[in-house]
Each structure stands twice: as structure tokens, then as C-alpha cells.
Chain A
Amino acid sequence: MAYSDKVIDHYQNPKNVGTLDKSKQNVGTGLVGAPECGDVMRLQIEVDENGLIKDAKFKTFGCGSAIASSSLATEWLKGRTVDEAIKIDNMEIVEELHLPPVKIHCSVLAEDAIKAAVNDYRKKNGLPELKFEESVVH
């Protein structure tokens, strides 16, 4: 299977690999996927006092498309508000990275990771967790 240039670029030069201090109140962490399924994503956001995401980091166990999806997600998250973050749709990732159908689940996982990180942040800050429709299809 041939990868798109964008997937290859993210794989070779991933953006924002790393770990934020998850004990901080303004850091939200989302851990999604499972080792048995062959992909695990951890996505973290650091939110400033105005609700803006000032930093985002990821670590991913998975194929090139999973790594690229999470790398792209962290890029898109930075500078957005938390409320804007949850509007990122997996299909935008699919389009940007030209993911083939068998790799759509990687983008779904990235979307789930964003939502999980936002909910973790909300919980830590006394906000009710948002309910999302089940987006995982595989």
C-alpha cells in the first residue's frame, strides 16, 4: 500500500511528540485504542486561562497512518479553543492525509483522542463531561 506524501512526512518528522504533566489542572489527557488492536494514541492538551490550547503533545503506538493522524491533530489543536477542538472531524484528517479506506479508523482514533483529552480537561476543571455519539465503527 502506498502512503501519501503527507503521511510519510508526518511519520518521518512527527510534530509535537512528547508528554505533558498530566497532574496539572490545565492539562487534559486522552488515551484511546488498545494494544491488542494494534493502535494506542495518547493525546494531551494544555489550556491557558482563556480556554485556548497553547500546547498539544502526542505519543502513538500504531501504523504510519495512526502516527500521522495524531501528529496532524496536535498541529490543528494548538491555538484553538477547547470548544473548537471538539469540532475536528475525523473526515477532515482523512482528507488532509489522503488516508485510504482501510486507514479511516486511524483518523477516528485521533478524533476520539481529542474528545477524550477535552473531557479529561473538563472533568479536572469541574465541567460536565460531554457526551459524544459513538464514532468508532470498526
Chain B
Amino acid sequence: MLKFPIYLDHNATTPCDPRVVEAMIPYFTNSFGNAASRNHPFGWQAEEAVDYAREQVAKLIGADPKEIIFTSGATEADNLAIKGVFEMYASKGNHIITCNIEHKAVLDTCKHIEKEGGEVTYLKVNPEGLIDMKELEAAIKPTTILIAIMYANNEIGTVMPMKEISALAKKKGILVFSDATQAVGKIPVDVNKDGIDLMAFTAHKMYGPKGVGALYVRRKNPRVKVTAQMDGGGHERGMRSGTLNVPGIVGFGKACEICMNEMEEETKKISALRDKLETELMKIEEAYINGSKQHRLPHVTNISFKYVEGEGLLMGFNKDIAVSSGSACTSASLEPSYVLKALGLGDDLAHSSLRFGLGRFTTEDQIDYTIEAVTKTVNKLREMSPLWEMYKEGIDMNNIEWAHH
């Protein structure tokens, strides 16, 4: 039996795995201690739980537990990494290289850096959503201290060439930071194999709770330091003050452990469902996949259905199916997705896009239902679309003088 609504927005957030919740519960009530209370069993218990979770988290990304700094989420980790490096390495330089499809938590932090006197280069991406290694190399200056490139993009799922990026950075003695929020727990990420020096990620994208994330900070070859962005009790090796969110951290640890154990099998199942969804939806005329098909996360697909508008499309089924659109109308800004625009998509295609994010609990029935509902709605709205009529009549819409408003 299908249960509604169907959730296909796993790049926004994921449900907590019941095993994660189960692991967390004792730390709200019986074992509620402060992990920094050194003098009694309540504190010891909490500290022990945090230490164990730190190991679970570290293991998933091939790190040492001491290299994990717990934060409130990926946004905080992004801020801590970029601002922290900018301040800590000020004597070495003030130039940061990033790219124009990063998450706002990175882009807006870089804007802040610019206001503080830093210099930021925003690399463009190609139509696949990948940066050009030659452009990256050309952007490096003697003052470059950090290359901040996301592991995988949140809207189109494109996976960046982290190994190549870090090999180049290493040669030039530049630190590499990666926002790996979308990748960790979904595909194998190993900070040593990938050559990453700092990495942000979060629990709620991998079936853990909201409000807890981590920044990986390399301790060896090279030993990296970041300036704390919050003053306080000096928790997390002085890099992130604030009483630890023990239940959240325990849940994060459990979530990492489950991902580690089940990733391989889960990926097979989810990517097969994703491929089915994509193949069936691509049978619709004038449908286009956005971003690289080859270098991509296994659970996401972003498709534009030309001549229908994304929000209008969502309205056809959003009581039953939860997905996102790159259309302007779904955001407050009235601007279509900057990520899709960065791929070189026209605003019209950006307005027509849907992102489907599958997850651990997605079933084939749900996918079948989605295929039918989306296909039906696209067809219905095209019957209503003046642009579709023009397209069918062979009218070149570029020759029409549109009243831009």
C-alpha cells in the first residue's frame, strides 16, 4: 500500500533512521550529562558517548577521531572552515578560490571574507556542472590560501574531481576545504585518499538528526588550524565552544555507522530506482537532465520539462509527492536557481526544473506513482501552455519581443 505524501526531497533533508532515534533517546533523559563535566558519572557517561560517536563519524570519512569538530550543522562548519582559515593564515595570504555553484553557506561566507579585505575567485562551471582544472590552476596566486570546492552539488548532484583538485593544491601548498554535505554517507568519501584538509558535513542529510554537523580538520600533513568563530569554554580543541549536543552527536555517530555498513547495498538499490525514474521521465518530449550524468550522486536527478513552469508543475502533485523546483516562484527571491543558470541554462529551462532526491526508504511503488503523476501533469500543463503551442507550430520564440517585467 502506498502511503502519501511520498518524500522525494532527500537532498533537502532525510528522515531519522529509527535506529538513530533509538540510540539517541537515553541521552535526553537518563544520560543527560554535560560531556564537559569531568567530575561525576553523568559527565563521564556523556563524554564516553561523544567519544564513541566521534569514532563512528571519523571512520566513515577515513579520519582520526581527533580531527572531528562537532558543530551545529554544515552551515556552521562552512563558516568555521572559511573564516577560520582566512584569519589563521592571514600572514600567508588572503586569496580564496571557490566556484559559483557552491551552497549559499559557502558563497555568502566568501562574500563576507571579501568585505573583510579578502580576495575571492569564483570559478565558473561547465554545462555539466564541473569546474575546469586549467581554470583552477590559472586562478592560483602566491596569496592563495584556500581552495573551497564542494564535494557534490545539492541541486544537480554533480560530484567534483576532488582528487585532482587536492593533488594540484598540494603541489602549490594550498589548503583544500570541501563542503561534502551531500556526499558523505551517500558515496565513499575518504579525506586521505581525496586529499582534503577541511571538510563540512551534517547529520540530517544522512538519516541523522537536524542541528548537528561536523568540520573535519586535518591534524597531520599538514597540521591545519582554524581560528574559532565563537568565544566560550574552549570545547572541541578550542575551535568550537559551546556545550556539546550529546543526543544529537550520538545520533550523528549512529547515522554514520549505518551509512558505512549499508552504503554499498543501498546505493545499488537507490540508483536503480533513480535510473528507472529518470529513464521514464526522459520519455517525455523536450525533457532535459541538468548536470553531469557520469559524475553524479546515485540518488538524485534534476530534470527540466521545457515549456512548463516548475511551480505550476509542482502544484499538480505536491499534495502527494514532495520534490523541489529550481523555479523562481518556489523561493522568496523570484530569481530562478543560480546553480542551473551557472550551467548555462536559459532562465526558461531553469524555471522548468524539478529535483528528485531519492532515499533509503524510497520504494519502487513510489517511483511508479511519481512517473505517472509527473508525466500526466506535464502533459496537462503543456496543453495549457502558450509556449508549447508555439513550439509545436514551429515558432521561434527567440524572435518574439517579450515584455520583460
Report A39-79 residues with CB < 8 Å from chain B CB: 39-42, 59-64, 66-67
**Among B334, B348, B388, B403, residue most surrounded by chain A Cβ atoms (within 10 Å):** B403
| Residue A138 at the chain B interface, CB threshold 8 Å | yes
Contact A61 B307 (CB under 8 A): yes
Q: Is A36's CB under 8 angstroms from B386's CB?
A: no
Judge whether A38 and B386 touch: CB under 8 Å.
no
Contact B386 A61 (CB under 8 A): yes
Stretch at the interface among A11-19, A80-88, A90-98, A120-128: A11-19
Contact in complex: A19, B389 (CB < 8 Å): yes
Among the listed B310, B332, B334, B386, which residue makes an inter-chain contact with A40, where contact means beta carbons less than 8 Å apart? Answer: B386
Q: Is the CB of A67 within 8 A of B384?
A: yes
| Complex contact B309–A61 (CB within 8 A) | yes
B5 to chain A, nearest CB (A): 14
Give every chain A residue within 8 A of B397 (Cβ-Cβ). Answer: 35
Does B348 lie within 8 Å of A63, measured CB to CB? no
Bound together, the chains give a CA A60 to CA B307 distance in angstroms of 10
Cα of A121 to Cα of B336 in the assembled complex, Å:
34
A137 to chain B, nearest CB (A): 9
CB-based contact B332/A61 at 8 Å: no
A60 B384 Cβ-Cβ under 8 A? yes
Find out whether the CB atom of A36 lies under 8 angstroms from the CB atom of B311: no
Contact between chains at B308 and A61 (CB < 8 Å): yes
Chain B min CB distance to A121 (Å): 18
Residues of A within 8 A of B312 (CB): 11, 61-64, 66-67
For the complex formed, measure the closest distance between the CB of B262 and the CB atoms of chain A, giving whole angstroms.
Answer: 36
- In whole Å, how far is A40's beta carbon from the nearest beta carbon of chain B? 6
**Nearest chain B CB to A56 CB, angstrom units:** 14
Tell me the bound Cα distance from A34 to B388 in angstroms. Answer: 14
Question: In the complex, which of the residues B384, B389, B402 contacts A33, with contact meaning CB atoms closer than 8 Å?
Answer: B402
Let me know if B220 is at the binding interface, CB within 8 A.
no
Interface residues of B in 376-405 (CB under 8 A from A): 383-389, 397, 400, 402-405
Q: Chain B, 321-345, contact with A by CB distance < 8 Å: what is the 0/1 string?
A: 0000001110010101000000000
Q: Is the CB of B403 within 8 A of A35?
A: no
CB atoms of A32 and B403 under 8 A apart: yes
CA separation between A3 and B400, bound complex, in Å?
32
Question: Does A61 lie within 8 Å of B385, measured CB to CB?
Answer: yes
Assembly CA distance A32 to B315 (angstroms): 22
Cβ of A117 < 8 Å from any Cβ of B? no
Chain B residues within 8 Å of chain A by Cβ, number: 31
User: Which residue of A3, A60, A112 is within 8 Å of B386 (Cβ)?
Assistant: A60
CA–CA, A50 to B398, complex, Å? 38
| Cβ-defined contact, A38 with B332, below 8 A | no
Instruction: For A8, give the chain B residue with the smallest CB separation.
Output: B315
* Majority-rule SS of A interface residues: mixed
Residues of chain A contacted by B311 (CB below 8 angstroms) = 38, 62-64
A36 contacts across to B, CB distance below 8 A: 346-348, 351, 402, 404
- In the assembled complex, the Cα of A15 lies from the Cα of B328 at a distance in Å of 26
Q: How far is the CA of A109 from the CA of B351 in the complex (A)?
A: 17
Q: Is the CB of A38 within 8 A of B384?
A: no
Q: How far is the CB of B225 from chain A (nearest CB, A)?
A: 44
Q: Would A136 and B405 count as touching, CB distance under 8 A?
A: yes
Asked if A35 and B387 make an inter-chain contact with CB atoms under 8 angstroms apart, the answer reads: yes
A105 contacts which chain B residues (CB < 8 A)? 405
Give bound CA distance, A3 to B347, whole Å: 25
Set B329, B383, B402: member contacting A34, Cβ < 8 A? B402
Closest to B336 in A: A38
The answer for the CA separation of A62 and B213 in the assembled complex, in Å, is: 38
Q: Answer whether residue A31 sits at the interface, using C-beta atoms and an 8 A cutoff.
A: yes
**A41 → B minimal CB distance (Å):** 7
Residues B334 and A59 in contact, CB atoms below 8 Å apart? no
Give the docked Cα–Cα distance between A102 and B310 (Å). 16
Partner of A63, one of B329, B336, B347: B329
Tell me the minimal C-beta distance from B379 to chain A in angstroms: 13
Bound form: Cα–Cα A17–B385 in Å: 9
Q: Are B403 and A17 in contact (CB under 8 A)?
A: no
Quick one: given A3-B315, A35-B348, A35-B351, are A61 and B405 in contact (CB under 8 Å)?
no
Judge whether A59 and B384 touch: CB under 8 Å: yes
Give A residues with C-beta under 8 Å from B. 3, 8, 11, 14, 17, 19, 31-42, 59-64, 66-67, 102, 105, 109, 112, 136, 138
Question: Please, could you name 20 A-B residue pairs with CB atoms under 8 Å apart, sorted by A?
Answer: A3-B315, A17-B384, A19-B389, A31-B386, A33-B405, A34-B402, A35-B387, A36-B348, A37-B405, A38-B311, A38-B336, A59-B386, A60-B386, A61-B387, A62-B309, A63-B315, A63-B329, A64-B311, A67-B312, A136-B405
Measured CB to CB, the residues of B under 8 A from A are 307-312, 315-316, 327-329, 332, 334, 336, 346-348, 351, 383-389, 397, 400, 402-405
- 3 closest pairs, A vs B, by CB? A34-B402, A36-B347, A35-B348
Given contacts A36-B346, A63-B312, A64-B311, 8 further A-B contacts (CB under 8 A): A34-B402, A38-B327, A38-B336, A39-B309, A60-B386, A67-B384, A102-B334, A136-B403
